[in-house]
Amino acid sequence: MVDAGDDAVRRIRETVLDRLRDGGTGLEALGRVCHACVELLPIDGASVSVMTGFTGRESLYATDEVAARIEAVQFSLGEGPCFQAFDTRRPVLAPDLRTVAWPVFAAEIAAEPVGALFGFPLVAGAISIGAMDMYRRAPGWMSAEEVGLALRLVDVVTLVLLGLRHGGVDGAWSDLPLSHVHVHQATGVLIAAFDLPPEQALARLRGYAFATGRLVDDVADDLVSQRIRPEDLGLP
């Protein structure tokens, strides 16, 4: 299985890089690797996000609506496998969602068909880029061989993102969508209104979203569109 996996990863890597050199977009490349993960591993979906810490996170690709929901809830709460994988620079394997270390996150996605979650950091030497999440409908572990294959696929994602970041494969970060533009704008509104540090402004957005049972993206959209005021978030 390991040899077959190595061969599959090599083919995916070559195909992705060829597509990029021929003018393909970074989003297409990420999508190809994510869907390859679903085909080669015992998972049902995957997603990729780039991160710069607590306040900086962009979801770049999700294979399906469930994976996208997992991304959205993590960003809204500021907790979950991608944050832990990014912070620790180590894989986070949660074979049973009922026993994870993020009870609020687990409660928020309890209605989704998610039994297991696996988070992998996207790192290259001392550079931390983001994280890749994989989910499975049924609880259960990955085998050691499957984790090894997942890590090799994660390396391909890291290679693509590094190339796009530095322009090494005829791409640029501008190829990739910004999924939380309104959150950044809303954070700026709170910073300007109350002279808050960015971390506190985002924490306030997340706290209000949690208290009202909404995603932080939706609250940010209301704030930017002036359907709610900064004062409505309970700030002094």
51-105 pLDDT per residue, tens: 865 556 788 899 999 999 999 999 888 899 999 999 999 999 999 998 888 989 9
Average pLDDT along the chain: 82
8-state DSSP, 175: G
* Type of residue numbered 181: V
Nearest to 102 by CA among 116, 117, 81: 81
Q: CB count, 10 Å around CB of 155? A: 17
* Angle, in degrees to the nearest 10, between helices 144-166 and 2-21: 10
For every residue of 82-126, DSSP letters joined together read HHHHHHHTS-EEES-GGG-S-HHHHHHTTTSS-SEEEEEEEEETT
pTM exceeding the 0.95 threshold for the entire prediction: no
* Type of residue numbered 136: R
pLDDT at 173: 41
- Among the ranges given (24-28, 77-81, 172-176, 232-236), the one the predictor scored with the smallest mean pLDDT: 172-176
Instruction: Please say if the pLDDT value at position 2 is more than 60.
Output: no
Q: Is 133 exposed, middle or buried (0-12, 13-18, 19+ CB in 10 A)?
A: buried
Q: pLDDT per residue over 102-142, tens digit each?
A: 989 999 999 999 999 999 999 887 788 899 999 999 999 99
Q: pLDDT per residue over 11-21, tens digit each?
A: 888 877 776 66
Query: The sheet that has 57-62: what strands, in order across it?
Result: 57-62, 45-51, 127-136, 116-124, 92-94
Assess contact for 114 and 68: CB atoms under 8 A.
Answer: no
